[in-house]
A and B are shown apart, each in its own frame.
Chain A
Amino acid sequence: MSELPVVQDPGSLPRRSPLYRLHLATGASFRQVEDNAVPYLMASLPGDTATARQLGLVDLCGLTKTGVKGPGAPAWLQQKRFQLPAEPNLAVLQPNGVLVARLSFDEFLILGDLKGQSSAFFDPEDIRLLDSAPQAYLLPRGDSHCWLGVVGAQASKMLVKLCAIDLGSEQFPDFVIAQTIIADISVIVIRHDLGLTPCFYLLADIASTEYLWEVLLDAMLEFVGGGVGLAALHTLLEQEPVSAM
């Protein structure tokens, strides 16, 4: 696995997360994924990791993601050797760390791995074929949605302040999806624990990213949670064994 390259100024890259200025202002350091940047450290690695174990918020907008939709989507994705969830509102982790979330009978959201290695999900040739595939359509999920992670032991305790569905571990185990409303906006919630640390991915309209980020930080205040970088997530993944798939 190759290290992600360091990037000093995310504003120098053509593709910019809606939050990069916020992170810059708080002194974050960044790593580059494709032509975008991800906040890698907010403070120090031990500091970020300690926060993330309790309650951390991470901006994953810089990681790659895409979507495929249409009655022909399941067959096409299987042909591309993706393992698909059997039912809507479930996700399956692929051996390479990519997460495939089934949002409906014929709609899939594909999230890149946290190491930033799975930059392209399909070859250009695949995409060309997709155009002629019967009833399967690529969705611009890379830009339509933000991708935030709420991580840590207190994650569900914080989220119940903003969300009217039960995200407790019994009702909402790993790899379960809820497409619901959080803080008055539509959000796709995917549970994807990092080792033994609970983690919820929140995907919402990308134009609402700053709003959602601020609402989440505010709701995290009482738990002394805060922003963390991607590196903390890597640590959590490495230090605790990922449960067998």
Chain B
Amino acid sequence: MKQLRCPLNGLRNISEFIYGGEYHDVPDYRSCSSRDWSEHVFFAETKAGWVIEWWCHLPTSYWFLVERNTVSDEIRRSFPSSDLYQERVDFSRALAREKQSE
């Protein structure tokens, strides 16, 4: 059975994890075309080679990211999501509009 290193819990059998999809940039839902949006929702890139993926350690519900080669199934690195997501995400412009309407 394959093993995966969880940044919080260390090396564990893959059966302790659940796959959470590819990590990729999300188009701006307010401005992108319908086509770009449906690409984002329905089409996985399934690139052959090195990709970044979301994985969750089930017993701790800990989400993290993994750099994996989809051809060789080699795992190069796992790291906390905070390495890529450092800023709070706000939908502020629109938020202000909503506040006005309240």
Contacts and interface: CB of A to CB of B under 8 A. Distances in A.
Q: Do A and B bind each other?
A: yes
Interface stretch (B6-14, B32-40, B67-75, B83-91): B6-14
B13 A179 contact: no
B82 to A, nearest CB: 10
A104 B58 contact: no
A237 interface: no
Given A179-B9, A181-B15, A181-B16, A186 B62 contact: no
A165 interface: yes
Interface in A187-210: 187-188
A44 to B, nearest CB: 37
7 contacts: A89-B8, A89-B9, A103-B60, A104-B8, A104-B60, A178-B9, A186-B58
A43 B23 CA distance: 57
Given A104-B62, A187-B59, A165 B12 contact: yes
Contacts of A165: 12
Interface bracket on B: 10 to 19
B59 A181 contact: yes
A24 to B, nearest CB: 31
B13 A186 contact: no
Interface of B: 1, 8-10, 12-13, 15-16, 57-60, 62
**Nearest 4 A/B pairs, CB to CB:** A186-B59, A179-B59, A179-B60, A164-B13
A164 B17 CA distance: 13
A104 B59 CA distance: 12
A180 B1 CA distance: 15
Contacts of A179: 9, 57, 59-60
Contacts of B13: 164
Contacts of B60: 103-104, 179
A164 B8 CA distance: 17
Nearest to B61: A186
B96 to A, nearest CB: 26
Contacts of B62: 104
Most interface-central of B1, B9, B13, B62 (chain A CB within 10 A):
B9
Contacts of A187: 59
Interface in A173-187: 178-181, 186-187
